[in-house]
Amino acid sequence: MPPSNSELKGYDRLAKPVQRWLWDQKWKNLRPIQEQAIAALLDREGDIIISAATAGGKTEAAFLPLISQVLQQPSKPGFALVYVGPLRALINDQFARMQDLCAQTELPVYPWHGDIPQNIKARARKNPRGVVLITPESLEALFVLRGQEIASLFATTQAIVIDELHVMLDNERGVHLRSLLTRLELAVEHKIRRVGLSATLGDMHLARQFLRPEAPDDVELIEDRSGQPQLKVQVQVRGYISRGEYAKDKDQNKVKDKDQDKVKDKVKDKVKECAAERAVAEHLFKNLRGTNNLIFAGSRKKVEQYADALRHCSERLQLANEFFPHHANLHREQRNSLEKRLKSKVPTTAVCTSTLELGIDIGAIECVAHIGSPAAVAALRQRLGRSGRRAGQPALLRMYAIEQELGAESEDWYGRLRLGLVRAIAMVELLLAKWCEPPNKQALNLSTLVHQILSIIAERGGASAQRIYTTLCRRGPFHTVSKELYQQLLRRMAAREVELIEQAANNLLMPGRVGERLVNHYTFYAVFQTPDEYRIVAAGKQLGTLARNGIVRVGGTIIFSGRRWFVTAIHNENKVIEVTAAKTGQPPVFGGEIPPTHDQVAAKISQVLAGTTGYRYLDTQATALLQEARKEFKCLRLFQNPICDLGRSWLIATGVGTVKTSTLAFTLESHGYQCPQDKTHLMLMATGFLKVGCGDKNLPPVSEALAKIANSPPPAVGSILSGNESLQQEKYHRYLGRDLLLADVASSRIDLNAMPELARRLLNRNQ
């Protein structure tokens, strides 16, 4: 055995096999957060959150002492430690690390998710020991399919480690996981220690509430801010204008047919867009080639576009391609291959979505590039943590903002405000100020509650209404659901037109006709939407999957996996799209929605537009675009007067985020005004602006409607939502009926109580 290493504080307290591992790794010291975690986990028994930047050593901080604890106690049947990760790729990555760490401990390590062979899972179930690494969906599958085994599998579990805690706090998967943790403790009839691993958040108390809702103040927080990247001189924001070859030929080739004019205009717009994207791709190619980098393109469609453009740059210069796509629809073999390449010494750049945002080990990254504005400051911080890991190397962020070309006579005030660029600047400023979005308030989450009711019934082969309510609402995460609302939900689930549940003669709730069909399908294990997808196959090899929500036809072309393909056949019965290599193509439609914006981000956008300060990280074009935006903002007088009369329509600079701005839109629509809900206006609302139209010429100015809102109690949800809105956004919303759906929407996606104060503020600034 190696001698005790006095330079490693806490080293002597670890089990001998763990000491041997540290010795083999040639670690000269432990990080401060790891030293603190060793003391906290070995000296105390409570729940703990370990918070640090990406690559801050959180995993070792948790598992070095936890594995030591397990080794120092008698071995008993059951998984000793449970690791819950949000992604299969993260499970695979941590499995390799855990195998290495546990190699000398004789503790088995089992990965457990949908891609793991059944024989490995069967071996783990037969002799449950050691460490199991599992996704929330696979844990759900265990409850549904092996409900009677849960108590024995986890009987001796000493701790559950929840990785990437910050991405689970305020969404369906987070509520789902909290419910599963409660059910797990009820099944084994004892409390299981919870250890959360999280990036630094703006409000860590909310993370405590997530980890142990009934006693958040008892959750210990170990936080390390020393690893925050130094950004001030390492940010560059570049601006681009989507002008192209057609810009100088406006008056040529005119035709009389209006439809042909429209077609030609669309072609011109496309060429201009491609010219700007090509310029961005060329800059990325010039500056990133030869190093390891991540390019976050914003959507799967953009990932394919830029991966294709960057590959084309390589081929044009007859160079080996270093740029590859990475998103959830690509086959896992392609994703795994790229992740391994990133960790190798071969220069590689991944063009990706959020799939590489979380803590998968991909080695040292030189630069993080971002095309367009990120969804949130928290996401930008997480992504930037990938860069600057080498000693003495700062993190490097490059952001690219593409804005539309505008003519001198253009009335496109939305384009003139350059809101894409301004939003990016606001995000960077908040990032530099070390602010990020706190989790949202606790919603009803009725869609997830429906799912968990069905899950408990399936787990137990039937359950009483009272037992389910105690498990999920009193002990579990649905504590905002009253008994009256719960009973209303059960009646709806049992209704003849729904048939999710039915009541047996002994009063136990059982699956109904529709409920049984749902529970028995593999898609049940996930609480989020799982669209119907087709496999894309080339020469017998699967490239990935594509949801058929866009138009893909035989004889058409697509860009997928960073290459261009010709569609030779579509087999609807087998859900297969066959393709062969092609010279042209367009990215398919993958779907997705515009993410909401926090109030603080919207307020910062207004501050950037109203200010005069320059930003040294902007290039010449971005600076010119910002000056143009500020000039337009001043011309519209939106800082002094947030309500701008455009002539029978109004532009309102709300200064608040998506939830409050969209609630104001619904409220004004209930007064007879028009607030379009198309994609452009949703993007507008995501920057704290609202355009209000007046279809009825007899309607008064919008300020009069705001005065009524300001002087009235908060509106009722049913009075502002007419029934024409697309409210069914979660998996089981379609089973709720209108009243329950409105209650769920009111708890999460609108803010009725904020309306009177918001209206008063807008009117006061208008005076």
At residue 3, the pLDDT reads 43
Do 761 and 712 lie in one domain? The reply is: yes
Does the residue 114 lie in any domain? yes
Does the residue 377 lie in any domain? yes
Does the residue 337 lie in any domain? yes
CATH code of the domain in which 285 resides: 3.40.50.300
Do 245 and 376 lie in one domain? The reply is: yes
∠ CA 531-532-534 to the nearest 5 degrees? 125
Do 285 and 428 lie in one domain? The reply is: yes
Quickly tell me which residue has 């670890």 as its tokens. Answer: 14
Residue at which a domain ends, from 162, 197, 223: 223
Do 427 and 463 lie in one domain? The reply is: no
pLDDT digits (tens, 9 = 90+) for 254-270: 434 444 454 444 444 44
Do 212 and 258 lie in one domain? The reply is: no
Q: Which pLDDT band, with edges at 50, 70 and 90, does 27 fall under? A: confident
Do 255 and 372 lie in one domain? The reply is: yes
pTM of the model: 0.85
Distance CA 501, CA 257 (A): 59
pLDDT digits (tens, 9 = 90+) for 714-755: 998 988 886 545 678 889 999 999 999 999 988 988 899 999
**Residue 103: partners with Cβ closer than 8 Å, 6 or more residues away:** 21
> What are the φ/ψ torsions at residue 54 (nearest 5 degrees)?
-55, 140
Does residue 580 carry a pLDDT above 70?
yes
Distance CA 596, CA 662 (A): 10
Give mean pLDDT, residues 322-342: 90
CATH code of the domain in which 496 resides: 1.10.10
Q: What is the number of structural domains in the chain?
A: 5
β-strands 649-653, 689-693: how paired?
antiparallel
Distance CA 740, CA 486 (A): 10
At residue 249, the pLDDT reads 38
Q: From residue 467, how far is each of 179, 430, 456, 485, 496 by CA, in Å?
A: 14, 46, 10, 16, 24
Do 122 and 263 lie in one domain? The reply is: no
- Average pLDDT over all residues of the chain: 86
Distance CA 561, CA 547 (A): 15
Distance CA 427, CA 68 (A): 42
Residue at which a domain ends, from 384, 410, 432: 432
Does the residue 624 lie in any domain? no
Do 162 and 241 lie in one domain? The reply is: no
**Residue range(s) defining the domain that contains residue 86:** 11-223
What would the DSSP string read from start to end of 200-212?
--S-HHHHHHHH-
pLDDT digits (tens, 9 = 90+) for 346-393: 999 999 988 888 767 787 889 999 999 888 888 888 888 777 666 567
Do 406 and 276 lie in one domain? The reply is: yes
Does the residue 460 lie in any domain? yes
Do 268 and 411 lie in one domain? The reply is: yes
Residue at which a domain ends, from 517, 548, 581: 581
Does the residue 441 lie in any domain? no
Do 120 and 252 lie in one domain? The reply is: no
Q: Which pLDDT band, with edges at 50, 70 and 90, does 486 fall under? A: very high
Nearest to 310 by CA among 563, 580, 543, 583: 563
> What are the φ/ψ torsions at residue 123 (nearest 5 degrees)?
-65, -40
> What are the φ/ψ torsions at residue 658 (nearest 5 degrees)?
-60, -45
Does the residue 84 lie in any domain? yes
Do 502 and 567 lie in one domain? The reply is: no
Q: Which pLDDT band, with edges at 50, 70 and 90, does 398 fall under? A: very high
Does the residue 609 lie in any domain? no
